[in-house]
Amino acid sequence: MNPLSAIFGAGVATRNALYDRGVFLVKKLTRPVVSIGNISVGGSGKTPFVIALGQLLTELKIPFDVLSRGYGRSSTEIAVVDPDGLPAQFGDEPLLIARKLQAPVIVGADRYQSGLLAEQKFSSKLHLLDDGFQHRRLHRDFDIVLLPAEDQAGSLLPTGRLREPITALNRADAVLLFDSQAQSVEAKSVWHAHRVIELPAAAGRTIAFSGIARPRQFLENLKSSKLQIASALTFRDHHRYDQRDIERLLALRKQTGADGFITTEKDLINLGTLAAQLSPLMTAGLRIEIEPAQQVVIEMIKTIEQRSGQQIQPPA
């Protein structure tokens, strides 16, 4: 192991041990918490998974809210996301979640205080804790960890992408594997899911651009479709577009003779009103399909009810 990664790993192990031994205080909300997280830096599909889980809870008539840090906000205050707001106010991913689910989303660095606000304002039965696996100061009643294949053989920060070693999965109640990923991890429960890329119909030669954690996956999905990619441009994750970016993209379209553009749903939020200058602009969506969807969620609810002593699912 790289010496810097070894130092980082020792720090992570010490922090976890202090939580395990009760030295660090863990705060508990009144209503149960379901944490959705991973062991790497960005790009594992947490946001589309939160959306998928939220949609399943809606189908089961279980009211919920989402607690999110709100990465990249200009404010640190706790706030309820306005779906018509701006990423600078709430963060791009919380906005996407709020728009897709039409459920309360609360942003703030202190997820316990965010949860208290949610419990004051909303009648949710569950809190979904977005990116919560390492946020151990908040008690959770069920831990879900998303594990892309590349994380199984990854290395720790700062030389790699892992925030914790693979052994951290021992804390998880369920580990989610994607597509045809081999089940080579030990976990209390292993869930399976498929990534489904929702692409528009082919419309000539297209310039693809994105500001996401793992742009290679986005480009590979586009190339495997019937879309003709004239050129591709990559920005940093959570990139907030400005007029210079628009001019750069328009110049690239002129240079390549492309007919239009395609980007992700998250990027569309970060474009805001600038998107109108890139017409025709197509959007690719990412949907996660859990299988068997309702069965695993119902089993999760039963576990939470047993642990919390609270009734979550409406009576039959």
Following DSSP, what letter does each residue of 145-165 receive, concatenated? Answer: EE--HHHHT--BTTTSSBSS-
User: Do 264 and 298 fall into the same domain?
Assistant: no
Q: Which ranges of 21-101 does DSSP label H, i.e. alpha helix? A: 46-59, 87-90, 92-101
Q: How many residues does the chain have?
A: 316
Start-to-end CA span in the chain (Å): 53
User: Do 31 and 96 fall into the same domain?
Assistant: yes
Rounded CA-CA distance 35/143 in Å is 5
> What residues contact 205, with CB distance under 8 A and at least 6 apart?
228, 229, 230, 256, 257, 258, 259
Could you identify the residue written with the tokens 């379209």? Answer: 253
Count of structural domains within the chain: 2
User: Do 107 and 231 fall into the same domain?
Assistant: no
User: Do 215 and 296 fall into the same domain?
Assistant: no
| Cβ contact 27:135 at 8 Å | no
**Containing structural domain, residue 72:** 24-195+289-308
User: Do 167 and 104 fall into the same domain?
Assistant: yes
Rounded CA-CA distance 12/16 in Å is 6
Distances in Å between the alpha carbon of 188 and those of 100, 185, 200, 241?
A: 30, 10, 39, 42
User: Do 77 and 219 fall into the same domain?
Assistant: no
> What residues contact 227, with CB distance under 8 A and at least 6 apart?
199, 202, 203, 206, 208, 262
User: Do 82 and 176 fall into the same domain?
Assistant: yes
User: Do 215 and 132 fall into the same domain?
Assistant: no
Angle at 119 between CA 114 and CA 120, to 5 degrees: 100
| Cβ contact 231:286 at 8 Å | no
Q: Positive or negative, the Cα torsion across 211, 213, 218, 219?
A: positive
Distances in Å between the alpha carbon of 249 and those of 222, 226, 253, 272?
A: 18, 22, 6, 15
User: Do 263 and 174 fall into the same domain?
Assistant: no
User: Do 128 and 191 fall into the same domain?
Assistant: yes
Asked, for residue 97, whether it belongs to a domain, the answer is yes
Q: One digit per residue, pLDDT tens: the chain, 316 residues?
A: 788 899 999 999 999 999 999 999 999 999 999 999 999 987 789 999 999 999 999 999 999 999 999 988 888 899 999 999 999 999 999 999 999 999 999 999 999 999 999 999 999 999 999 999 999 999 999 999 999 988 888 899 999 999 999 999 999 999 999 987 777 777 889 999 999 989 888 778 999 999 998 898 899 888 888 789 999 999 999 999 999 999 999 999 999 999 999 999 999 999 999 999 999 999 999 999 998 998 999 999 999 999 999 999 987 6
SS3 of 205, please?
strand
φ/ψ region of 60 (left if φ > 0, alpha if ψ in -120 to 50, else beta) reads alpha
Assess whether the previous peptide bond of 165 is cis (omega < 30° from 0): no
Asked, for residue 5, whether it belongs to a domain, the answer is no
User: Do 275 and 295 fall into the same domain?
Assistant: no
Asked, for residue 15, whether it belongs to a domain, the answer is no
Asked, for residue 7, whether it belongs to a domain, the answer is no
Which CATH number is 104's domain given? 3.40.50.300
Rounded CA-CA distance 116/119 in Å is 5
Q: Which pLDDT does position 43 carry in this prediction? A: 78
Asked, for residue 39, whether it belongs to a domain, the answer is yes
User: Do 157 and 271 fall into the same domain?
Assistant: no
Q: What is the pTM of this model?
A: 0.95
Residue 24 tokens read as 């660090």
